[in-house]
Structure 1
Amino acid sequence: MKKSLLTLTLGGLGIGITEFVMMGLLPDIAKDLSITIPQAGHLISAYALGVVIGAPLLVAIAGSYPPKKILMALMMMFVAFNAMSAFSPDYTTMFIARLLAGLPHGAFFGVGSVVASRIADKGKEASAVSLMFAGLTVANVIGVPLGTFIGHNYSWRYTFVIIVIVGLITLLSLKLWMPALPATKNRDLKKELGFFKLPEAWLIILMIAIGTGGLFSWYSYIAPLLTDVGGFSADSITYILVLAGLGMLVGNFIGGKLADRFSPAKASVSLLIAMAVTLFIVHYISANQTLSLIMTFVTGAVAFALAAPIQMLMITTAKGSEMLAASASQASFNIGNALGAFLGGLPLAAGYDYTSPVWVGTLMALTGAMFAWMLIARNKRLALAS
């Protein structure tokens, strides 16, 4: 692996830990800050809101600077606001800290995706992007379980100190190893924003926000699905989540290879259909522990195989607006996070069992595949007309 790509992987690791570890730390944070668990859950929403706001906004503001300087500035923000989280004395301060910590998330992946594709060997651009997203998967395999263990047994504040340390290491590696790529010359922000006037842009955004929401309909309720339906003990959930993380790690690299070999659009539609199929299977095998473990790995793999293809799809579609578009895809992914959890919870509120969110996820994945197919069909029509 090139050292320059390793810096992006380290950034993805830190961002992945701070985003996903909150799910496991909610009881500890709620107890320490004297708030309810639903109130603590708002801290997850605050982070997602920060991502949606910061992704396009920060890239729009900083896009005329050299990529290395942008990435370093974003990582400085990451370090500062996670340090603020570690020392937050009350709920309000923590909410603000989490909102601010989410701001650099999408922008880092947006700029990082473009940088990875530029420094990659020819024909391996998507694989290079997948190396950056590998940090997210490693976070789910190692960082999140470790951070949750430290939070439960010592203090959740120590977990955020570790996140800050990862951020500082990333900052140092960016300074030492990231090449000084030139800034975008004669940048025209108004022209870049014109990308969002294209039908293709909104087809991709809808594909990501709805299609990847299928993942979160399943993942948001995986713990009660495994305990109430699968009969697993609550103590085993952490280890099963590690299994899901391993699937994500494997799937991430497979997705990069697929997007390099085929077009990102074809890879995306195929993987969204595959996600719908795996979720459909999960619904029927959840009571069988052996099959549940197998499908937890497979579903994680299929879902995260989408990461590199959808990012490359944005980049290749948005000629001249690559960084802004790539950051918008991260904002869309976090909308999918919130949308999947919300829609997946509706049948539970109506009294259905914990397999019901998986049906919602199946429909969301198929809807995302429909938008991907519409994009492919539109591109074919445009190619024939030209």
Structure 2
Amino acid sequence: MTPQPNLKLAVLALGLGAFAIGTSEFAAMGLLPWYASDLGITEPQAGHVVSAYALGVVVGAPVTSILGARLPRRRYLAALIAGYGLMNLLAAVLPGYGTLVGARFLAGLPHGGFLGVAMLFAADALPREQRAKGVTQVLLGLTVANIAGVPLASILGQGLGWRWGFALPAVLALLAGWLILRLAPHVGPPKDARPLAELKALRNPAVVLILLVGAIGFGGLFAVYSYLSAAMLATAQPPAWAVPAALSAFGVGGTLGSIRAARLTIRHGPWGAALRLMLFMTVTQAFAALAVGNWGLMLVSSFLLGLGSGMVVPLQTRLMDVAGEAQSMAAAMNHAAFNAANALGPWLAGLALAAGWGWRSSGLVAVALSAAGMLALALAWWQARLAGDQFRDHPARR
């Protein structure tokens, strides 16, 4: 395909869609105390709003990947992100707790399909020497969302009402859909697309076990982060700026953590990097439990939690090594695993809170999930060893 002058702008439009998704996903956690209070529900019940979105991603990732495999990518991506915007708009305007949970579940459905195909589209749209740049620009939308979008949604939620925190990503998503239609080139679906054949990747034990590591291991991160704002407001009496600052600190930590994780993966391979990052996550989650009651320490804790989120890098690297020809399905399912953790962590932490264990319990639940994630990592490593490929991806050991 001959590059056109608007291709770079088209990739930026995809990045805007990723920014809207990242803002909506994490803003739901930062806004939790406000919609819990307004709807007259407990914080653990409000945590179901977060889990419903995550379950939507888990369900939607494989479904949208299959349904969209033979569709023109420009219209497919525009439709997904526009649908995402409409569902967020429903979350912002419909009354009641049940409708909010339902709208958030529906909003999660396009998440994995959009991000997975957007990265492939961006890589194919630019000249070959700029393919990595296209993928990075899409992922940058998620990173910047945590630095700027989520704190902005939190400020809007505090000042104008929590519904504005969902309206913001809704408008951005609709704008992204319009820009994609205007700027993206007319590219048909891949000629060799075999959507049902890609499901065979889910029969591969190596793929399934890596997805399991992410689904369990990241649960600890979300167990703490989902209730961070609520715990800070309930125990620490922070100034008004502290909650948005904590959310932004998480985003900065996530950006630096991704860079650090990439270096660790290059140096130690996916297995060594994943183990080191899992241990780091366990320590930071224990610190998060100890920090409850001191808003300054909780702000530092948020930054450290963000650093640990870079574990997605070695897991994605390993997944690419074992997914074979099912790369698009694997990319979508990686987002599904990440959001399965987003459902599991808040749910378990919510049970602990509902049982009266106190705000520190979310950190203790997180440590337990990270320990379980390390067991899953050990199982994945053992399976790779039996298959004879555990060191295949580490140049130093070839």
212, 220, 233: which one pairs with 1:214?
220
Query: Against the structure 1 CA distance between its residues 37 and 248, is the aligned structure 2 distance closer, same or farther, given a 3 Å change threshold?
Result: same
Indicate whether 1:7 and 2:47 are aligned: no
Q: Write the letter of the residue equivalent to 1:16.
A: G
Q: Write the letter of the residue equivalent to 2:85.
A: V
Give runs of aligned pairs for residues 341-352 of structure 1, distance below 5 A: 341-352=346-357
Indicate whether 1:136 and 2:142 are aligned: yes
**Cα deviation, residue 123, structure 1:** 10
**1:319 aligned partner:** 324
Helix, strand or coil for the counterpart of 1:65? coil
Query: Against the structure 1 CA distance between its residues 361 and 37, is the aligned structure 2 distance closer, same or farther, given a 3 Å change threshold?
Result: closer
Q: Return the TM-score normalized by structure 1.
A: 0.82
Q: Write the letter of the residue equivalent to 1:112.
A: A
**Residues of 2 paired with 1:381 and 1:22: CA distance?**
42
222, 232, 243: which one pairs with 1:237?
243
**Residues of 2 paired with 1:120 and 1:178: CA distance?**
11
Q: Contact 2:60–2:112 (CA<8 Å) still a contact in 1?
A: yes
The superposition leaves residues 148-200 of structure 1 with CA deviations (integer Å, 9 ceiling, x where unpaired) of 32233334444444323211332244345545566333433342111111111
**1:88 aligned partner:** 94
**Cα deviation, residue 322, structure 1:** 1.6
140, 148, 151: which one pairs with 1:145?
151
**1:269 aligned partner:** 275
**Cα deviation, residue 341, structure 1:** 1.7
Helix, strand or coil for the counterpart of 2:359? coil
Which has the higher mean CA deviation after the structures are superposed, 347-356 or 268-277?
Answer: 347-356
**Cα deviation, residue 9, structure 1:** 2.5
Q: Contact 2:77–2:117 (CA<8 Å) still a contact in 1?
A: yes
Indicate whether 1:340 and 2:345 are aligned: yes
Q: Contact 1:67–1:181 (CA<8 Å) still a contact in 2?
A: yes
Query: Against the structure 1 CA distance between its residues 129 and 258, is the aligned structure 2 distance closer, same or farther, given a 3 Å change threshold?
Result: farther
Q: Contact 1:265–1:309 (CA<8 Å) still a contact in 2?
A: yes
**Residues of 2 paired with 1:122 and 1:227: CA distance?**
49
**Residues of 2 paired with 1:200 and 1:17: CA distance?**
32
**1:279 aligned partner:** 285
**Residues of 1 paired with 2:372 and 2:155: CA distance?**
37
The superposition leaves residues 278-330 of structure 1 with CA deviations (integer Å, 9 ceiling, x where unpaired) of 22344456566655543431221222x12344334333322222222221222
Helix, strand or coil for the counterpart of 2:109? helix
Q: Write the letter of the residue equivalent to 2:173.
A: G
**Cα deviation, residue 124, structure 1:** 9.4
**1:331 aligned partner:** 336
**Residues of 2 paired with 1:17 and 1:327: CA distance?**
19
Count of aligned residue pairs for this structure pair: 383
Q: Write the letter of the residue equivalent to 1:382.
A: A
Q: Contact 2:150–2:247 (CA<8 Å) still a contact in 1?
A: no
**1:354 aligned partner:** 359
Q: Contact 1:316–1:322 (CA<8 Å) still a contact in 2?
A: no
Query: Against the structure 1 CA distance between its residues 75 and 124, is the aligned structure 2 distance closer, same or farther, given a 3 Å change threshold?
Result: same
The superposition leaves residues 328-358 of structure 1 with CA deviations (integer Å, 9 ceiling, x where unpaired) of 2222212211211222344445554433332
**Residues of 2 paired with 1:118 and 1:312: CA distance?**
19
The superposition leaves residues 28-61 of structure 1 with CA deviations (integer Å, 9 ceiling, x where unpaired) of 55676x6535665543333223222211111111
User: Which 5+ residue runs of structure 2 have no aligned equivalent?
Assistant: 1-6, 393-398
Helix, strand or coil for the counterpart of 2:319? helix
Q: How many percent of aligned residue pairs carry the same amino acid?
A: 33
**Residues of 2 paired with 1:123 and 1:286: CA distance?**
48
Q: Contact 1:86–1:160 (CA<8 Å) still a contact in 2?
A: yes
155, 164, 182: which one pairs with 2:170?
164
**Residues of 2 paired with 1:336 and 1:301: CA distance?**
17
Query: Against the structure 1 CA distance between its residues 279 and 24, is the aligned structure 2 distance closer, same or farther, given a 3 Å change threshold?
Result: closer
Helix, strand or coil for the counterpart of 2:190? coil
User: Which 5+ residue runs of structure 1 have no aligned equivalent?
Assistant: none
**Cα deviation, residue 207, structure 1:** 0.3
**1:75 aligned partner:** 81
**Cα deviation, residue 213, structure 1:** 0.4
**Residues of 1 paired with 2:132 and 2:220: CA distance?**
23
Q: Write the letter of the residue equivalent to 2:253.
A: G
Q: Contact 1:126–1:260 (CA<8 Å) still a contact in 2?
A: no
**Residues of 1 paired with 2:190 and 2:295: CA distance?**
53
**2:204 aligned partner:** 198
**Residues of 2 paired with 1:74 and 1:257: CA distance?**
33
Q: Contact 1:207–1:368 (CA<8 Å) still a contact in 2?
A: yes
Which has the higher mean CA deviation after the structures are superposed, 275-284 or 171-180?
Answer: 171-180
**2:109 aligned partner:** 103
Q: Write the letter of the residue equivalent to 1:241.
A: L
Indicate whether 1:20 and 2:49 are aligned: no
**Cα deviation, residue 257, structure 1:** 5.0
Q: Contact 1:129–1:308 (CA<8 Å) still a contact in 2?
A: no
Q: Write the letter of the residue equivalent to 2:49.
A: L
Helix, strand or coil for the counterpart of 1:280? helix
363, 368, 371: which one pairs with 1:363?
368
**Residues of 2 paired with 1:266 and 1:125: CA distance?**
27
Q: Write the letter of the residue equivalent to 1:342.
A: W
Q: Write the letter of the residue equivalent to 1:274.
A: F
Alignment RMSD (CA, Å): 3.6
